[in-house]
Every structure is written in C-alpha cells, then in structure tokens.
Amino acid sequence: MIPSRVEPPGLNQRAHLIARAFRKSRVIMGIRRKKLASFALIGIALFYLAGFVGFLDSVGLPILPYDPIETKVSERYMEPSISHPFGTDELGRDMMVRVIYAMTTSSMISALVILGGGIFINISLALISGYYGGWRDSLIVKVGETLSGVPTLILLIVITASVGPGYKDFVAKTAEVIHWEWVARSGIAEIFLLFIVVSLISWVGSVFVLRSRISVLRESGFVESARALGASDARIMFWHILPNLMGLIALGLSSLLAISIGAEIGLSYLGLGIKSPNPSFGIMFYSLTIADLQNHLYLFIPPAVIVTSVLFMSWMLGDALVSIVESKEGE
Amino acid sequence: MKIFVILLIGLSALILACAGGEDSPAPDSMIRAITGEKVFRTNSPKPRTLDPQQCNDVGCARFIDEIYSGLLTLVLVPKQEAELYAKDHHGLPMLTGEVMEQMPSLWQKWAKTYLREQDSMAIALAPDIAKEVPESKYNSDGTVSYTFELRRNVFFHNGKHMTAHDFKFSFERAASGNWPDRFSVFTIPNADLYLSDIVGVRERMFNKEGVEEVSGVEVLGDYTLRITIDAPKSYFLWKLTYPTAFVIDKDKIIDPITGEVQKEDWTDPPNGTGPFSAVPGNEETVLAANSNFYLGRPYLDKIVFNHQGGQSTIFAYDAGEVDITGVGTDYLPRTKPEHEKYDPEFAKQYRSGPLFDIWYVVFNTEKPPFDDPDVRRAFAMALDTEELNVIGEGLFTPAESIIPPGITGYDQDLRGIPFDPKGAEELLKGSRYWGTEELKSVEFIRGGSGPEAGSFSEAILGMWRKHIEKPLGISIIVDEPATGGVYQNRVTGGDYEIAIAGWVADYPDPEDFLDLKLYCNRITDPITGKERCERDYANNHARYYNPEFDRLLEEARIEQDLEKRIALYQEAQRIAINDVPWIPLVHSRNSIAIKPHVSGYYPAPMVIPIFRFIDIVE
C-alpha cells in the first residue's frame, strides 16, 4: 500500500505527533465532557497559581500585603474582614498570606514529585518491568510489593526520622561553607528531602497499573508487526507503546498529586517535614488547638476547606480518568 | 526548684498538663466510693530520673520531693501568720520541729482560711529529718559548722533504719563527680552548684588523689551530723532543701554482699525516706503513702501520675479523670464573669498565683557576633516584652530584671533594655560585626517537639523579623525545635547562638539566680590548658564573664548584713542587665484548676513538697 506521506515521519514531527495524540486523546476529550472533572482541573490549577504567587512573594517580589512570619500583636485574633480576608492568628499574622505560603509549600513539593520524579520513575520502571519481563520485572514487582506491604505513613516516618537529622546537618554545614544560608533558611532543603522521600515510595501503585497494561500491549498485533519489521526495543517502547498509556499516566499523576500533598501535610503535622516558621498546612493544623476551634473557628475553615477540596479534586480527577480510560467513551 | 526546660508555649504554669489516655480511668469519685481510698490523680510527663542527685529540672523534682527527704525542707506559710515564725533569718519565716509535727493538721486549718486567696503564702525554711534548723557556729579558721540532730524514727521505704551514716554516704556520692569507678554516671554537676560550699566537696569532685570522703560532713553519732562550710554563707541552709542534699540508701547503690555498684538502675523502685513510696512505670507512676513517715502518715493513700496524657488535660479534668489541670490562655475565659464562656463552677476551682521564675533569651557570649555586647543589646532593643504580655493574657508579667518579684532582692526600680527598634538599628550598624559574615545570618534554636515550638518563640521571631531581619538584612535561621535532651546538650555545650530558656527558683534567694546562672570566674583548665569558667559551663549557658560581676557575687556570698547583701546583688544584676547575656522576657504565673474535694492544695511558686499536707474530703 502507498503510504499517505512521501517520507517517513521525521524527528521533530514525532514530537508533534505525540503532542497531537495527547491533545486528541480521549483523556482530554473526556475531561472536557465531564463537568466535575473540568471543575477539578480548574481548582487544582488555581491552587498551583496561588502557590506560584506565594513563591514569587517569597523570593522578594512584593505581591502580598503582609509578611507570613512578622507578628503584630495589636491585631491578634481579628475576625475576617476586607483587610484580612481570613482573619489574623494569635500573633496577629494575616492568615490569608500564611495560607498562600502553605499552598506554595504544598504545590512546590507536589510539582517536584510529579515533574521531577513521578513521570520519570513511573514510566521508566513500568517500561522496564512490563516490556522486558523476566528478572527485571520480578525485581521491580517484589520491591514494589514490599513497599506497599508497609503502611505508607509509617514508611515515610521511618525514612524521614532516620535520614532527616543527618541530612539537615549536612545541609546546614554545606550551606555555611558555600555561603548559601538561604538554603537552610528558606526551607527548600526540607522540601527537597520530602520530595525524595515521597518519590521513593509513591511510584508503586501507578507502576503496577502501567506495567500490566504494557505486558498486554507487548503481545499485541501492532507490536508484533513492528518487531517483525525490525524496530528496536526503544522505538517500540516510546513510539508504539507509550502513546497508548497516556490515560493511565495521567491517572497515575493525579493520584501522585494527592499522595504528595497529603504526605507533606501529614509529615509536617508530625514534625518530620517542613519546620516552622516556614509555613505549611501541617504546621497550621498542628498549632490550632481545640480551644481555637471553639473560639476562633475562622482560623481553621480556610486551610481546612482548601486542603480538603484539593485532595478531593485530585481524587475526582483520578476517578474521571479511570472511567474515561476504562470505557469506550471518547473513542 | 531549678529547671532548664523547653519552652512550651510559654505556659510554664501548665507543666501539670496533658490529657487523658486511651483507656481513661473511672472518675475519681466512683473509685473513692467503691474502695474508700483517697487517690489524687494528675497527668504528668514521665520524670527524666528518680535519682535525686541527678535531677535538675522541675519534671523530676516534683516526684523526688515526695519520695525522698533531706535534712531541711521548704514549707509554705500564710503571709499573715509568717511573722509568728520569722526569726532572724533574712527576715524570712523559719519553722520549728514542733510546728512541723503539727503541720498536716495545721496546714488543713490554714487551707480553710488562706489558700483561696492569691499570693497569700510565703516560703519558710523548716527542719525535715533534722529535728531543728541548726544555729551557725563560727570556727576560728573562718569556716562555719552546723550540727544537725536527726530524728530517730526515720525509715527508708524498705524498712531500713536511717542514720547519719546514710547522709554522709549520700553527700559523698553526690560529690563523686565524673569518676566512673566511683558511684555515679553524673554529667550534671549538681554537687558543684548546690553542695560545693561544704568543705571537701570540690576536692572530691575534682578527682584529687586520695580524697575518698567529704571532710566537711562528719558523723558525730548515729543521729548527729556536722556539716562545715568554707565561709559564713547565709544562703547555704536553703541549699540543703534541694534534692542533691537528700538522703539515699547506701545498700541500693553498693550491694552489701557482692559489693557491686549500681549507677542508674537503683531507682526502680526508688528507696527514699519521704512521705510517699513510688512504683515507677512507663504508663503511670504511682506514689503510695508511707505509713512509717516520721512526720506522720500523709492523708492521701495514693497519687497517680498518668504519663500518657495527650495535649490538654482540661478535658480529662472536666471528665473527672484528673484532680488538677493547668489552665492556659485558651481556657481563661471560663474563669471570667464578663465572658460568654464563663463557667461559675470552674471559676470557683480556679487558682492562680505567682511563680518565682524567669524566661529569657540567652546569647552565647563567646560566639561571634554575640561576643559584642552592642549586638546583644540591639537584639534586646528589638524585642517588645509588652507584646509577649499580650499573648500571655495576664499569665505573664513582663520581666525587667533577672530576679523575679517575690524573691529577696527583687529590684522594682530596675528597668530592662527599652524597646527601641531605631536604636537597635544604629547599634547594629555601629557594631564591629556590621557587614561581616557573622552578622549576615545568626542561628536561633528552640526546644520543643512537633513542627512548631510554640507561640512564644514565634512571637519573638516575628518581632525580630520586623525590626532586624527585614530592615537590616540579617537572616535569623531557625533551627528545628529540638527535644529536651538534644536542646539541653546543645545549649550546655555552647553549640548555639541564640536560645530560649527558663529558670525556676530552687530557693527564695538571689544567689539562686545570679550566682548559679551567670557566675563564671574564668580559670585555666589544669588538663586542657584552655580558659573556662570555674564551674565549667554547666549552668552559665551564656558563657558570660565579667570580673566585676563575679567580684560582687563573691562579696555578696559572705556578706552578713542582709541589706548590704541585697544591695550587692542588685548592683550585680544591673551589670548583667546592661551586658545583656540574657534578655529577660517574662515571669510567669501559676494558673490551675483543682477539684473541690481536694483540700489544701496551693499552687506553690516553686517546686516544694506539698502532697504530704493534702487531703481529699467529700
């Protein structure tokens, strides 16, 4: 048969094709059709936007009207108003700014986990395990099963508690030597540790899903044909198999989002993650007492609503993705 | 009583706090109705140690004061009756052995009249195992001797008779310093702080060859003990009320048959002579009445200290699971009639009173940039202690001086470093460290657990951020809150630049604050050849050294005239305030609620034995 093109697709066209495959993929189409899912996507985008605003403010751009650490006791426990939309806390710090900074922390960690580790680790482990099979598959599956056999939070606690002190010492000493005190000060080092720890153990679920799909695809007709035509393993993996996984990858990433945000908050709450005065939702919830709940409920509502809705929205997105991927809808 | 505790939300008054465990005990009233036992229940963290010679914080002293006893003790007496008991002893009241024997019932009588009022009690020195507080005997060589006649009916909890020999052994063990082949594993030189006035204690502590005993403690008979101190020091008798001077059982330390030495494990269970014997545990420590107690069996049958409390005892208190709770700022509205949360029943159970303590920021004065007094002063000028007072909602008094109100020598005319951010900026810019690496970033450490050390240090940080960090570009790097042991080791070892700490009086004398906390007397270490403070840095965590300050303290130690002595301490205090090794922040207050069936509880301004006088009534 005569090909539709005059020459085989070139390198730059391939990237273009993958992008088109993603854009036209039933995942995106499906999300567009599902109102809740689009709502969730927009909510998560807003969360990241707020986090980005906080990040810009923290590096010195004067965007936000207050400082998250500076105290002003004369304005303590002010109820929500126009100048302080979320009120002020016990020390007169503006809660809105503190919440935005906490969103910065959460979004930085989750973005790092997803972009810096998640995609790379998930896809490469799944491809190795699913495509090659054999001992590589057994090794990855066994390690994954071991990790998932231990409760995640306990594993996180064990790792951060055992590595944390030595790591902080190392960072503090290095920062002193190379005069990068801001690293120790800004909490970036802590965020990085959390990123590593969360990345290390959060891959299991989505790698397993991807791997089983790959091992099915590996045996399918179009892969056989490609192999018969002499295509290399790399070509088959990235050109033939990967485009078929977009839905599952997006699903994995959305659950990674919830895991990483939740892990950061949980660990910070337990004192193993971000440390005060760097703002984090975990610390915020830790420092609110039951009496605060009774007397100053407004301190609690905005962070609680934001955290719950972000977690809820990321699961909602995941849920929509599952139904899209597993159904024939959009094909 | 002395402390170096982590600052928990600044509410040191809440030390008793912590909430109900998972399987909460049945309400007190029910247990009493069934068993007829008088049980006092409270939540309290597990004590660090039950060895009186190793204890140096409020957490363990609270237990040790009830389990062990010493020659002398501290007792509260109503201020209105104090003059009856005041002899010529600093003008402070002193009780006789006879009064001590009537004490439990006398105390209950006072309880009905005075205990409900705030600040109605004064601290008195009283004989405990000694029959009377002895007179000073001035010897021709300048030393002073005290001869103690001991009570004959003193028994350890295991039934062993206590004699003067046990005291001699106890003092010698306390002074055994860091000698591993001796009896102790001490790294806390309590003996140096509390017993070193006794002739021979320092010789033994510092490992002088052949010094096997403390020559200043002599057994003159089974029930007669003579203690000789190196100079006439009017504060010395107070020091005998501190746990380091309590009597311990020699047989528990050195096995009488095998000769084996127990260094740490001997306190499970402890064997003391106090009003209560103890069964320590991880979940709870139970103190049971000692029916052989020489001043009469205490009224209470049992005190149960639950170590598994959570964050707020107040719920356990409301549920009747504990008999006492700290009341923090969160719950103060329940005691205020003008507030909507006012609870008249609770308000009746609420007690508050002064605490003889000081909370302060401490600088490591040996580390740049804080070896420059101008830098320290600038940091002090950037702190507004009034703001801390606002956060304390009346549970704090802003501190102007080191010696708290209520302690002899409190200087009410003294004013601390004033709040002046402009002045701070000028001082920092004029400092020799301005523009150097040392002043670009400084390190601030705090004690505590969890992600946040508490609003108190957050507030300090917030003020410094406003007045120092932002306008001047000096970063204040906050180290994570370190838990008790780590924090204390760092502060004691000088591995810090700025820290927060507190100190509660051991006895109501200015010597306890200025001399114990800031005296240095720099010497050359005979072994390492380096310069250090005479007592090392065990307690002078600021590593503060000012020869003039030291000279005044040395003079004050042996000054016999009370007024002159106070003047010397006040002058020394002015020097210390001016040099800013510390920034005094606040003095705190006791703030507790106690169940109405507990009779005779008074929130003492420092740790003193109190459960021996308390009763439970219906």
A182 touches chain B (CB under 8 A): yes
pLDDT digits (tens, 9 = 90+) for B87-114: 655 567 888 888 898 888 888 888 888 8
Report which of residues A226 and B208 the model is more confident about: A226
Task: Please name the residues in contact with B460: beta carbons below 8 A apart, sequence gap of 6 or more.
Answer: B361, B383, B388, B500, B585
pLDDT number for residue B261: 76
B104 touches chain A (CB under 8 A): no
Query: Per-residue confidence at B6, pLDDT binned at 50, 70, 90?
Result: very low
For the cut 90, the answer to whether the pLDDT of residue B564 exceeds it is yes
A286 touches chain B (CB under 8 A): yes
Report which of residues B233 and A295 the model is more confident about: B233
Nearest CA in chain B to A293: B330
Chain B CB contacts of A184 below 8 Å: 477
B391 touches chain A (CB under 8 A): yes
d(CA B95, CA B75): 8
Query: Per-residue confidence at B13, pLDDT binned at 50, 70, 90?
Result: very low
Long-range contacts of B559-563 (CB under 8 A, 24+ apart): B559/B234, B560/B232, B560/B234, B562/B90, B562/B91, B562/B234, B562/B408
pLDDT number for residue B181: 46
- Angle at the Cα of B289 (from B288 to B294), degrees rounded to 5? 145
Dig out the tokens for B484 from the structure.
């008790």
Query: Per-residue confidence at B286, pLDDT binned at 50, 70, 90?
Result: very high
Cβ-in-10-Å burial (0-12, 13-18, 19+) of B483 comes to middle
Q: Is residue B190 within 8 Å of B56, Cβ to Cβ?
A: yes
3-state secondary structure of B422: helix
Report which of residues B386 and B245 the model is more confident about: B245
pLDDT number for residue B222: 93
Query: Per-residue confidence at B368, pLDDT binned at 50, 70, 90?
Result: confident
For the cut 60, the answer to whether the pLDDT of residue B25 exceeds it is no
3-state secondary structure of A166: helix
The terminus-to-terminus CA distance of chain B in angstroms comes to 32
Nearest CA in chain B to A76: B391
**B436-465 residues touching A, CB cutoff 8 A:** 437, 440-441, 449-453, 455, 458-459, 461-463, 465
A101 touches chain B (CB under 8 A): no
A76 touches chain B (CB under 8 A): yes
pLDDT digits (tens, 9 = 90+) for B537-549: 778 899 999 999 9
HSE (CB half, 13 Å, CA atoms) of A325?
18
C-alpha distances in angstroms, A116 versus A46, A259, B231, B400, B517?
21, 15, 71, 53, 51
DSSP-assigned beta bridge partners for residue B121: B78
Chain A CB contacts of B477 below 8 Å: 181, 184-185
Cβ-in-10-Å burial (0-12, 13-18, 19+) of A182 comes to middle
Task: Please name the residues in contact with A57: beta carbons below 8 A apart, sequence gap of 6 or more.
Answer: A63, A64, A97, A100, A101
Nearest CA in chain A to B311: A289
pLDDT number for residue B67: 95
Mean pLDDT confidence for B53-74: 91
C-alpha distances in angstroms, B143 versus B88, B191, B311, B556?
20, 19, 51, 16
Residue B360's Cα: distance from chain center in Å? 15
* A275-312 residues labelled b (16+ CB within 10 A) or e (exposed): bbbbbbbbbbbbbbbebbeeebebbeebbeebbeebbe
Q: What is the pLDDT along chain A (331 residues), one digit of tens a residue?
A: 455 555 544 445 555 555 666 666 666 777 777 888 888 989 999 999 999 999 888 877 888 888 888 888 888 888 889 888 898 888 888 999 999 999 998 988 888 888 877 778 888 888 889 888 889 999 999 998 988 888 877 888 888 788 877 787 787 777 777 766 666 666 677 777 877 887 877 888 888 888 888 888 888 888 888 888 888 888 888 888 888 887 788 788 888 888 888 888 888 888 777 777 778 898 888 887 777 777 788 888 999 999 999 999 988 888 887 777 666 544 4
d(CA A142, CA A135): 10
Q: Is residue B215 within 8 Å of B199, Cβ to Cβ?
A: yes
Report which of residues B13 and B424 the model is more confident about: B424
HSE (CB half, 13 Å, CA atoms) of B526?
4
- CB distance B451–A268 less than 8 Å? yes
Q: Report the sign of the C-alpha dihedral through residues A46, A52, A53, A55, in that order.
A: positive
**H/E segment holding residue B387:** helix B385-392
pTM assigned to the model? 0.82
Cβ-in-10-Å burial (0-12, 13-18, 19+) of A8 comes to exposed
Query: Per-residue confidence at B533, pLDDT binned at 50, 70, 90?
Result: confident
pLDDT number for residue B87: 61
A73 touches chain B (CB under 8 A): yes
Dig out the tokens for B283 from the structure.
């979940």
d(CA B86, CA B99): 13
pLDDT number for residue A181: 60
Chain A CB contacts of B441 below 8 Å: 181, 185
Residue B560's Cα: distance from chain center in Å? 26
Residue B584's Cα: distance from chain center in Å? 17
d(CA B301, CA B288): 6
Per DSSP, the residues of A68-102 read SS---GGGTTPPP-SSSTT-B-TT--BHHHHHHHH
Percent of chain B with pLDDT over 70: 89
Task: Please name the residues in contact with B364: beta carbons below 8 A apart, sequence gap of 6 or more.
Answer: B370, B494, B496, B497, B498, B499, B541, B542, B543
Q: Where are the alpha helices (DSSP H) in chain A?
A: 11-23, 26-33, 35-58, 95-111, 119-127, 134-149, 152-177, 181-186, 188-202, 204-218, 221-228, 233-235, 246-269, 281-287, 290-295, 301-326
3-state secondary structure of B490: helix
* Cα–Cα nearest to B149, from B167, B122, B161, B171: B167
Highest mean pLDDT: which of A152-166, B250-264, B288-302, B481-495? B288-302
d(CA A239, CA A13): 12
d(CA B278, CA A45): 60
Report which of residues B77 and B478 the model is more confident about: B77
Q: Report the sign of the C-alpha dihedral through residues A148, A149, A154, A159, in that order.
A: negative
Q: Report the sign of the C-alpha dihedral through residues B443, B447, B452, B456, in that order.
A: negative
- CB distance B452–A67 less than 8 Å? no
B483 touches chain A (CB under 8 A): no
pLDDT digits (tens, 9 = 90+) for B114-137: 877 777 888 899 999 999 999 999
- CB distance B478–A179 less than 8 Å? no
- CB distance B391–A270 less than 8 Å? no
